[in-house]
Amino acid sequence: MTELTIALDAMGGDQGPDIVVTALARALSSYTQVDFILVGDQQVLQPILDRYPAISQSPRVTLQHASQVVAMDDKPSAVVRAKPDSSMRAALDLVNNGSADACVSAGNTGALMAMAYLTLKPIPGVVRPALVAPLPQQDGRQSLLLDLGANPVCDAETLCQFGIMGSVMAQQINRQSYPRVALLNMGREDLKGNDTVKQAAQLLKATPGIHYIGFVEGNDLFSGRADVIVCDGFTGNIALKACEGMAELLYHNLKQSIQGHLLTKVLAKLLFKRHKKSWQWLNPDQYNGASLLGLRGVVMKSHGNASANAYFSAIAHAIDEASVELPQRIHDRIEHALLAQVSDNRNE
């Protein structure tokens, strides 16, 4: 792997910097060719780092002081100007000036999107960046769902670009040579849905290099029918939160059922031990990390209450995207699509 540098916003999130430092310790041993810049309040971070000699003594870890912290309840429009020396802004600046190849933050989602947009700027031709995250599929693979909340309202052109960006990501990260792209809709029939979704479908059909397969419904999110599922941020956020809520309900009910009897507890423990690898795909930690696609740099949003293992997954996803230079790949595909549109317009 080409040597990379990842900037970590150590002060963002609900769990505090301890989680970030613990995840960093694992990342150091897992990615021996990657350097890290830990960004945050030095007075807070140094005592934590002193408990981890492998980090504090590593030449691959740099501590950069930032005097301000973006709180989870801060208004995005306010923090951009009010907190120029926040750990979040400093981590993004490192990507912008080329000192880091990616930024990972578990902080305020709205603030991260606003700061990333202003700091890194969108890729030329991209209408709106999108939040995208992986979803487990029945066949053991992963699909991509976007947008997850960055853009509550989208026009047809924006949805089409989401499909293009998602397709590039599926090719580069999930190693799918010809990803199946679909639009999330209230039915699979062509007549279903609003005008925006129908117009987006026509644009995707006409976009070269995109394997558009039509509409999918909510019950297709985990079926493996599509590799990239596109929707506006309002729909995507609700869909994702509904799935998370259902997963929590199933886990709670299963746990209550198992703990209700000693025999079921013993059998469940034996079953899990025997089929541990088969059940690993159910672990939500490995899916933590929503990427902000469409910017000139890699920005990874970790869940605010992520565990150390989950935050490590976000770091791993950021490394994967940086290693394949995903923003440049998206730039090339968007440019190609725009040139094709210009050519079609001239022919008309």
What pLDDT sits at residue 271? 61
- Residue 281, pLDDT above cutoff 60: no
Whether residue 193 contacts residue 231, with contact meaning beta carbons closer than 8 Å, is answered with: no
Confidence label for 1 from pLDDT (cuts 50, 70 and 90): very low
Domains in the chain, number:
1
Share of the chain above pLDDT 90, in %: 64
Residue 303 lies in a domain: yes
What pLDDT sits at residue 265? 67
Confidence label for 342 from pLDDT (cuts 50, 70 and 90): very low
What pLDDT sits at residue 32? 92
Q: Which domain holds residue 120?
A: 1-126+294-348
Query: What is the spatial distance between Cα 50 and Cα 261, in angstroms, rounded to a whole number?
Result: 45
Query: What is the spatial distance between Cα 171 and Cα 292, in angstroms, rounded to a whole number?
Result: 17
Residue 81 lies in a domain: yes
Pair of tokens at residue 174: 């999930």
Residue (of 335, 327, 250, 238) closest to 284 by Cα position: 250
Residue 258 lies in a domain: no
Higher-scoring residue by pLDDT: 273, 5: 5
- Residue 341, pLDDT above cutoff 70: no
Q: What is the pLDDT of residues 226-275, one digit of tens each?
A: 999 999 999 999 998 888 787 778 766 777 777 767 666 666 666 666 54
Residue 186 lies in a domain: no
Q: Which residue has the tokens 């830990």?
A: 38
Residue 341 lies in a domain: yes
Q: What is the pLDDT of residues 11-54, one digit of tens each?
A: 988 888 999 999 999 999 999 999 999 999 999 999 999 999 88
- Residue 67, pLDDT above cutoff 70: yes
Q: What is the pLDDT of residues 141-174, one digit of tens each?
A: 889 999 999 899 999 999 999 999 999 999 999 9
What pLDDT sits at residue 273? 61
From residue 211, alpha-carbon distances to 128, 135, 149, 181, 321 in Å are 22, 19, 24, 6, 22
Residue 139 lies in a domain: no
pTM beyond cutoff 0.75: yes
Per-residue HEC secondary structure of the chain comes to: CCCEEEEEECCCCCCCHHHHHHHHHHHHHHCCCEEEEEEECHHHHHHHHCCCHHHHCCCCEEEEECCECCCCCCCHHHHHHHCCCEHHHHHHHHHHCCCCCEEEECCCHHHHHHHHHHHHCECCCCCCCEEEEEEECCCCCEEEEECCCCCCCCCHHHHHHHHHHHHHHHHHCCCCCCCEEEEECCCCCCCCCCHHHHHHHHHHHHCCCCEEEEEECHHHCCCCCCCEEECCHHHHHHHHHHHHHHHHHHHHHHHHHHHCCHHHHHHHHHHHHHCHHHHHHHCHHHHCCEEEECECCEEEECCCCCCHHHHHHHHHHHHHHHHCCHHHHHHHHHHHHHHHHHHHHHHC
From residue 291, alpha-carbon distances to 84, 275, 321, 323 in Å are 23, 31, 9, 14
Residue 309 lies in a domain: yes
- Residue 2, pLDDT above cutoff 70: no
Range with the lowest mean pLDDT among 42-56, 111-125, 133-147? 133-147
Residue 317 is part of a domain; what is its CATH number?
Answer: 3.40.718.10
Residue 197 lies in a domain: no
Share of the chain above pLDDT 70, in %: 87
What pLDDT sits at residue 337? 79
Pair of tokens at residue 275: 């089929």
What pLDDT sits at residue 14? 83
Q: What is the pLDDT of residues 211-226, one digit of tens each?
A: 999 999 999 999 989 9
Confidence label for 9 from pLDDT (cuts 50, 70 and 90): very high
What pLDDT sits at residue 176? 92
